[in-house]
Structure 1
């Protein structure tokens, strides 16, 4: 198998992305500019201690934590108590369904998604947090529990590479099945509260149930959507032929014919816009990634847009 990183990825390739992720972060220097703005951003690492409560002074308390204003107001010594900030878990959801096994320029969607999943994992690890994930295809979901260790990132990247290399044009499609919703439901059961959840997918098959699940996830967690798309969906060539495959069925379409070009173009661009609109309705931050450009360069640009655009 040719693991050139464009059609199929290798474990070594995903592990090597550690170096490209070093200057990337989901957090901006200023908290209000963070992609993870809101309640959860205030609890992210970098502050050391979080204020917990005011209570009466007890022998042995650190005098540096005396709250003089509260003490003068109540006439009794009052101290501020703190809880130590803990690392938080992250789940990276990586889509390797048959809908991802396509690319008209440079890379396949499945390969771009694999790289984005690995980059997100390294970014989380570099921030000092725990990394886990869900890697899924049309038939199965591989679950890796969050842990802060390189071995855990290697386990996650290994599952991504395995599922990626199992993709084949002869594999049957599972169109119509709600595998994406099953994965989000599984994530909801696993995540609980205060997780960072990155969903890397083309979001094929997304619907109202998907929207509902993403809103549920975002209610108590930071959720980021990374939508992978192929440029063909935005700009269908005016002439020539396009080979469309579905499992073992292959159909060649003459796109220079108006009766083929117009409906196919409308379908592809409409489908992409519908999914993007749905994701925006969920109010989850959305980043879009083309198969035509390197994943890490796009991620840098998208993070810049989202963190720089907040006011």
Structure 2
């Protein structure tokens, strides 16, 4: 199989993305232009502070940490000291369903999602946190438990590659069977609280149950959605023939005809807007990625970290 990074990816390609993930973070303070700045920043908790002990005040201590009750009780200024939480678990959720096996410009959605999943894993690993994930297709869901280990990143990337290289135009498409919701339900079981959950998908088949599950997940965890889309959803060509496939069924559409192009554009664009609306209602931060551009470049732009 030719793993060119545009239709299929290889383990070597995903492992090499470690270098492109350097300096990127979902949690660090974001510049003003970033989607995660402002209101969104408060939704990404980062590492918290755990109470450590009460001790005597020392010059230079933050006055906001003064414990007034203990100070009045002892007659001397006492401060609360804290230690930073470390080793935060993260779940990188990567969609490799048949709805992702499509691309009209540069890459397939499935390949872009695979790269984004690997980049997210390397970002988490670089921050010193535990990396785990869930990789799924139309029929199978594979989970990798979080662990702070390069080998665990490799294990997750290996699962992504296995699912990615199993995609084939002859595979059946089960978009309407609720697989996305099953995955989110499994995430609820895996992530009790204080996880970072990064979901990379086109969110095909999302509905009211998806919204409910996203709200449940984000109640006690930080959830961020990376939606992969193809530019065809925004701009259907005006000339030529467009071949649409679903499993073994192939249909050629004469897009130069207004009665064909208009409904197709409305359908594809409507799906994209519906998912964006659903994610806004769930209050999950949404980053959007096109198949027309390299995943790493778009991630830098979306996080506002491009120099």
TM-score (norm 1): 0.88
Residues 51 and 80, structure 1, Cα contact 8 Å, conserved in 2:
no
Question: Which structure 2 residues correspond to residues 175-186 of structure 1 after superposition, within 5 A?
Answer: 175-186=175-186
Unaligned runs of 5+ in 2: none
Deviates more, 1:268-277 or 1:66-75: 66-75
State the partner residue of 1:234: 234
State the partner residue of 2:289: 289
Residues 175 and 204, structure 2, Cα contact 8 Å, conserved in 1:
no
Residues 40 and 27 of structure 1: CA distance in aligned 2, closer, same or farther (over 3 Å): closer
Following superposition, the deviation at residue 26 of structure 1 comes to: 1.2
Following superposition, the deviation at residue 70 of structure 1 comes to: 4.8
Question: Which structure 2 residues correspond to residues 163-242 of structure 1 after superposition, within 5 A?
Answer: 163-242=163-242
State the partner residue of 2:261: 261
Instruction: Tell me which stretches of 4 or more aligned residues in structure 1 moved more than 6 Å.
Output: 30-33
How large is the Cα RMSD of the aligned pairs?
2.4
TM-score (norm 2): 0.89
Residues 40 and 222, structure 1, Cα contact 8 Å, conserved in 2:
yes
Q: Note the alpha carbon deviations across 1:238-289, whole angstroms, 9 max, x for none.
A: 0100001011110001001111111111111111111111111111000000
Following superposition, the deviation at residue 28 of structure 1 comes to: 3.3
Residues 238 and 261, structure 2, Cα contact 8 Å, conserved in 1:
yes
Residues 197 and 223, structure 2, Cα contact 8 Å, conserved in 1:
yes
Question: Which structure 2 residues correspond to residues 152-167 of structure 1 after superposition, within 5 A?
Answer: 152-167=152-167
Aligned-partner Cα distance in 2 for 1:196–1:8:
27
Aligned-partner Cα distance in 2 for 1:211–1:179:
14
Aligned-partner Cα distance in 2 for 1:161–1:51:
38
Aligned-partner Cα distance in 2 for 1:170–1:81:
60
Q: Note the alpha carbon deviations across 1:195-217, whole angstroms, 9 max, x for none.
A: 00000000000001001100110
Aligned-partner Cα distance in 2 for 1:251–1:137:
24
State the partner residue of 1:37: 41
Aligned-partner Cα distance in 2 for 1:279–1:116:
19
Unaligned runs of 5+ in 1: 56-60
Count of residue correspondences: 296
Aligned-partner Cα distance in 1 for 2:232–2:30:
37
State the partner residue of 2:19: 19
